[in-house]
Amino acid sequence: MPELPEVETVRRGLAPVFEGAEIASVSQNRPDLRFPFPEDFAARLTGRQVVSLGRRAKYLLADLDDAAVLVMHLGMSGAFRIETGEPGASPAAPVPDLGAFRVYPPAEARAHDHVVFHLLSPTGAGTRVPMRIVYNDPRRFGFMTLIERSAVETHPYFAKLGVEPTGNQLDAELLAARLAGKATSLKAALLDQRVIAGLGNIYVCEALYRSGLSPTRAAGSLVTARGRPTAAAERLAVAIREVIAEAIAAGGSTLRDHRQADGSLGYFQHSFAVYGREGEPCRTPGCTGTIARMVQGGRSTFYCPRCQK
């Protein structure tokens, strides 16, 4: 499943086309994805302008000019692509300058193109160019819905989400406050979206390795008896922020389905120190350990038993 860096990469790819665009129409090619679409989904979006495109945890949030928010989740295999010109034809000439984003022929079968947003997208020259953002999802675990902006923070999808692992808001003090008294494993606590929003299996494994912490140690062990963060909590907070920032800069990790909005692949997987490296030597200088794999909560955990304590 795409994790936060992959979703943020998609957001950054879509934003220059989505933001400021008018939704001329929506082609809804089936009645549901993971869940049914809201009633009159396409009609409610038609004619609306996208004010901004944001992200909360693993959700994309398109703020519309009628105070509604289009909430989109990629599920396991969801992907967006950007097209110009007539559907199925070569890109119209000239193609508007999209900076780092290019039109590309989709690799996915068009049978899995479930939603198409037909946009009039601003070019910066006072004109609007017809463009399409196509949502493709072979497994259909993604979903879309509409929520009033005033209700987002209290909506069941968002009400209990923890802090974002980006920026400086996530620090050792906050981490200690969230982990205090928890007897569950450190890895399980970090995957709890009520503790940290959007942090997934891959990046938890990598952050624990960087901070030298065992995934099986008690989460509460990072907090002193007085509720203060330990040195381990300091290392972990820094590691989480760094690994997420580096993954976003690398365009996320492409393991199976993830593509950026321009069709290119993320490459952070080439920087994995432990994830997927079972049986390989630990990369910590001076460590003679071997990367091991175990299952926690139904998910694979990769770690070095020698240098992660």
Provide the CA 263 distance to its chain's centre, in angstroms. 16
* C-alpha separations of 197 from 5, 157, 170 in Å: 12, 11, 11
Task: Please compute, for residue 39, the number of CA atoms within 13 A of its CA located in the half-sphere on the CB side.
Answer: 0
Nearest to 44 by CA among 61, 21, 69, 14: 69
Which is catalytic among the residues 12, 149, 283, 299? 299
Residue 82, helix vs strand vs coil: strand
Give Cβ neighbours of residue 108 (< 8 Å, ≥ 6 apart).
Answer: 79, 136, 138
Distance CA 48, CA 40 (A): 14
- Catalytic site includes residue 299: yes
Q: Judge contact between 128 and 27, C-beta under 8 A.
A: no
Which listed residue (58, 178, 187, 277) is catalytic?
58
Q: What's the CA gap between 4 and 134, in Å, rounded?
A: 21
Report the distance separating Cα 231 and Cα 223, nearest Å. Answer: 9
Question: E-assigned strands of the chain?
Answer: 22-28, 50-56, 59-64, 68-73, 79-84, 113-122, 128-136, 143-148, 292-296, 299-303
2 is catalytic: yes
How large is the C-alpha radius of gyration of the chain?
Answer: 21
285 assigned to active site: no
Q: Where are the alpha helices (DSSP H) in the chain?
A: 4-18, 41-45, 172-179, 186-191, 201-211, 231-249
Of the residues 3, 83, 164, 206, which is catalytic? 3
User: Rounded CA gap, 273 and 280, in Å?
Assistant: 10
Alpha-carbon distance of 98 to 82, in angstroms, equals 10
> Catalytic residue positions?
2-3, 58, 299
